[in-house]
Structure 1
Amino acid sequence: DIHGQYYDLLRLFEIGGFPPSTSYLFLGDYVDRGKLSLETICLLLAYKIKYPDRFFLLRGNHECSKINRIYGFYDECKRRFNVRLWKIFTDCFNCLPVAALIEEKILCMHGGLSPELQNLSQINSIERPTDVPDFGLLCDLLWSDPNPDIQGWGASDRGVSCSFGAEVVAEFLKKNDLDLVCRAHQ
């Protein structure tokens, strides 16, 4: 999660290499909390436009109008420019992909698994543009969390989506011939 920490993002590029010399897959939460969300998201989108085959952006739960309206991005847009700019970014966020598959073996998303998710074709079936619903597959992909203290599925401490135990992950990996689920959100 970058959360508007523009200088941390620049430091990441200094250490890992600037695009296109290094490929990147970011897992969401580009805005809110930090003071430079606009610089952060504009740089990321510029790199995506310039290097579309080497730079990838997934949607996080903060790339949602209901969330970034509260946690700072709306206020930053309104204070520095206008509400219209925030609405344009909202339209952009509603089009972002929610998952990526690396070499057919590593499934990446911002949040985690969903009790509704049986196979990867379900993710491809999520229509875009779309806002994030309060429940269901899309919500879970952006909001769910692993919990080492439970078996199966459980309630989330966040009050949104759900949590899942290690055996849920193991079963999902085996069923879908995957090696790893890679996530952010913490």
Structure 2
Amino acid sequence: MRKVKAWLQTIIDRLVKQWTPAKSQSLFSESELVELCYRARETFWMEKSMVSVKAPVSICGDIHGQFEDLLALFRLNGFPPEKKYVFLGDYVDRGPFSIEVVGLLFAYKVMYPDDIVLLRGNHESRPVNMQYGFFLECKKRYSTSLYEVFQYVFYCMPFCALVDKRILCMHGGISEDLKDFGQMDRIERPCDIPDLGILADLTWADPDPNIELYEDSPRGAARVFGEAALEAFCKQLGLELIVRAHQVVNDGYEFFCNRKLVTIFSAPYYCAQFENAAAIMNVTKDMEISFTIFRPRIKNKKKLTTRTAE
């Protein structure tokens, strides 16, 4: 195990200390990435589909291949294991360095399994990341075989995290079908993400201020939910707050339904199109909440309020 930790530290050091866009291809062999994926899969396999987390903890939203921004957020907020993290999914696609993003996060996960939780987003699924950039990145830089190995890992990742039994974290949103947390323990992995049901909602669902309960989502997967649905869900499961990602928000975070839900987005200047900030939500041991904000320096770009991240 000592040799494994030493090897993992070299992976982390290369990515944190040596990486530049020009060096991205030369830092790793494909065999190293395959080995890292197999070790990450073993680590995820040991976790439940809903991971229990104790505060203090920092919670991050979508990263989408923006590796330089991931490093900037770590430098601003602290690296594992100095800080404990929950990431809400969508590590790949859109941005140019998805392999580096999952490489660093997988290395931290294997190195410090109790200090970083990596949840599955809707982009950690073959039908999505085949279309939005990750497949082509793997094919161009390494091979389609490596792409398949990454899917092997994604399909074993947990779907939600429960912080001190009071804050539920997921990528997408709540599910009308989730009546008690025992249902999460009965989810069998590895698994794909269906179009409907609990797993679809946890990875795809969105809040909608214009409805009360649940309606079909315009995304074509899962459902959207209103304030009444959210209040009933939190009451039934004894929750104080829902933390989710999945949508771009201008300030990096945005509350919904009298602060019963917050959307976190952690990829600033998303897709090089919007001047959105990134946010990290920090939860103290006493369950006090604050936000660390990272704003891009790019000027004169289109502003937004909330935008769907496919």
Give the TM-score normalised by the residue count of structure 1: 0.98
Q: Does 1:78 align with 2:139?
A: yes
Residue segments in structure 1 that go unaligned for 5+ positions in a row = none
1:15-164 equivalence runs, <5 A: 15-164=76-225
Q: Does 1:184 align with 2:250?
A: no
Report the Cα offset of residue 133 of structure 1: 1.4
CA shift digits 1:98-139 (9 cap, x unpaired): 001000111110001112111111122111111111221111
Report the Cα offset of residue 154 of structure 1: 1.1
Q: Distance in 2 between matches of 1:84 and 1:130?
A: 19
Give SS of 1:10's match.
Answer: helix
Partner of 1:171: 232
CA shift digits 1:8-32 (9 cap, x unpaired): 0000000000111111100000000
CA shift digits 1:118-167 (9 cap, x unpaired): 11111221111111112211111100111011011112121211100011
CA shift digits 1:42-78 (9 cap, x unpaired): 0000000111111110000000001000000011001
Give SS of 2:161's match.
Answer: strand
Q: Distance in 2 between matches of 1:67 and 1:14?
A: 30
> Which 4+ residue blocks in structure 1 deviate beyond 3 angstroms?
none
Give SS of 2:232's match.
Answer: helix
Deviates more, 1:170-179 or 1:66-75: 170-179
Q: Distance in 2 between matches of 1:99 and 1:179?
A: 15
Q: Distance in 2 between matches of 1:31 and 1:5?
A: 9
Q: Is contact 1:3-1:30 (8 Å) kept?
A: yes
In terms of Rg, which structure is larger?
A: 2
Report the Cα offset of residue 175 of structure 1: 1.1
Give SS of 2:194's match.
Answer: coil
**Aligned letter for 1:123?**
M
Q: Distance in 2 between matches of 1:155 and 1:134?
A: 11
Residue segments in structure 2 that go unaligned for 5+ positions in a row = 1-61, 248-310
Give SS of 1:107's match.
Answer: strand
Number of residues paired by the alignment?
Answer: 186
Q: Is contact 1:126-1:138 (8 Å) kept?
A: no
Give the TM-score normalised by the residue count of structure 2: 0.59
Q: Distance in 1 between matches of 2:221 and 2:238?
A: 29
Give SS of 1:133's match.
Answer: coil
- Percentage of matched positions with identical amino acids: 51
Give SS of 1:142's match.
Answer: helix
Q: Is contact 1:31-1:68 (8 Å) kept?
A: yes
Cα RMSD over matched residues? 0.8
Q: Distance in 1 between matches of 2:227 and 2:140?
A: 44
Give SS of 1:135's match.
Answer: coil
